[in-house]
Amino acid sequence: MPDTHRRVLIVDDDDAVLTASSMLLSRAGFTVDSATSGEAAIQLLQKRSYSAILSDINMEEMSGLDLLRSIRERDLDTPVILITGGPSLQTAIDAMAWGAHRYLLKPVAPKELIEAVTRAVLLADLARLKREAFALRGTHGLPVDDEAALQSRFGRALTQLRIAYHPIISLRERRAIGYEALVRSSEPAMEHPEALLGTAGLLGRQGELTRAIYLKIAESAPDLPEGTLLFVNVHPPDLMDASLHGIGSPLAPFAERIVLEITERASIEKLGDITDVVRDLRLLKYRLAVDDLGTGYSGLASFTQLSPEFVKLDRSLIEGIDASPVKQRVVGAMTALCADLGMQVISEGIETIAERDALVALGADLLQGYLFGLPSPPFAQPVI
């Protein structure tokens, strides 16, 4: 393991609190460094990285919030836990705006502190693995035509939308536990979903496409087989759209059986604090998933703000995993970390028996891929 594994920095200008916290976390198995000021903490951060940082808010000269801002200017990944004995609404808002992982109130019970730091360290490990996974992934671009032609093609594609449903199986239960809704179009230039979605973003018509997709999915939702879930892809900005949780939302009547897959291909951090939005979605009984894990955005916002029930590993991590010790190590570590964090892992893009068997050996259960069936208009039974 690297030197940063389970290494925690505690920052507090109260020597007694600093000593007690350091002893508690050291006994819990963490390697602990300490600093009595924000300035001293920054000096340590220039020399070494940490799995998590724990800081008091109320300190002289540089406050914990000032330290958090300084950290975020160069590092979006490292979880920062802020502690205060004088809580206020404004400090809580500022803490969330600058990406604090947790906001704890003094006195913090030992068990609560250990649990908060443990979860933060696990998330830091996951962020590191995500960066490593991105290095294994190839990229491809979208060819750009002139705008008038693109507008015309996109307009035709909208009128020819259809939804295919791809089964997600539990190998242990030998049944489909859900179906992912995949958008398709009969427009020749937009047959590939990446072309359709990429063009919508390029033309600024993502919201229009999203609402059209939701309406199509809602038409099929009443026929969803009993005991299964419906996985719906959501672009992060669409979380703010009333088509999900506003009056007249086509999906809201089926929310209890819907898992919203928030893709990691676009950064959720740009949305700021979405606590209220996530609360509204959960009040409607939606469940959440982080999709495309390992595709490029290494920030922790998708986990700290969403607390997803499911995580989907991108196809780029699964392809040829049976012959790649590096992918096996990354996927195995991700699977174990997600289990520790209470999240179920879905491995997608499985096309061969060898890939399936390699994943099973790593502890995987929830699987998706052409090996079990092709996306199809009805809710087809998978081949297991």
Residue 101 reports pLDDT greater than 80? yes
CB neighbours of residue 140 within 10 Å: 5
Boundaries of every domain in the chain: 7-135, 147-372
- What values do phi and psi take at 58, rounded to 5? -90, 90
The class that CATH gives domain 7-135 is alpha beta
- How do strand 175-185 and strand 161-170 relate by DSSP bridges? antiparallel
Examine domains 7-135 and 147-372 and report if their fold is the same: no
- What pLDDT does residue 6 have? 83
Q: How far apart are CA 323 and CA 53, in angstroms?
A: 38
Q: How confident is the model at residue 134 (pLDDT cuts 50, 70, 90)?
A: low
What SS3 class is residue 373?
coil
287-301: pLDDT as tens digits: 999 887 755 554 555
**Range 368-372, long-range pairs (CB < 8 A, 24+ positions):** 368/166, 368/167, 368/168, 368/169, 368/180, 368/312, 369/318, 372/167, 372/169
With a CB cutoff of 8 Å and minimum separation 6, the contacts of 261 are: 180, 231, 232, 233, 234, 289, 290, 291, 310, 312
Looking at every residue in the chain, the average pLDDT score rounds to 85
- What pLDDT does residue 125 have? 82
245-285: pLDDT as tens digits: 677 789 999 999 999 998 755 556 666 667 888 888 899 99
Residue 39 reports pLDDT greater than 90? yes
What SS3 class is residue 92?
helix
With a CB cutoff of 8 Å and minimum separation 6, the contacts of 120 are: 51, 52, 79, 81, 101, 102
CB 36 within 8 A of CB 13: yes
CB 104 within 8 A of CB 81: yes
The encoded tokens of residue 298 equal 């290494």
**Residue carrying the six token digits 């205060």:** 84
Strands (E), 198-293: 229-234, 258-263, 287-293
215-232: pLDDT as tens digits: 999 999 999 999 999 999
- What pLDDT does residue 294 have? 59
Residue 1 reports pLDDT greater than 50? no
The class that CATH gives domain 147-372 is alpha beta
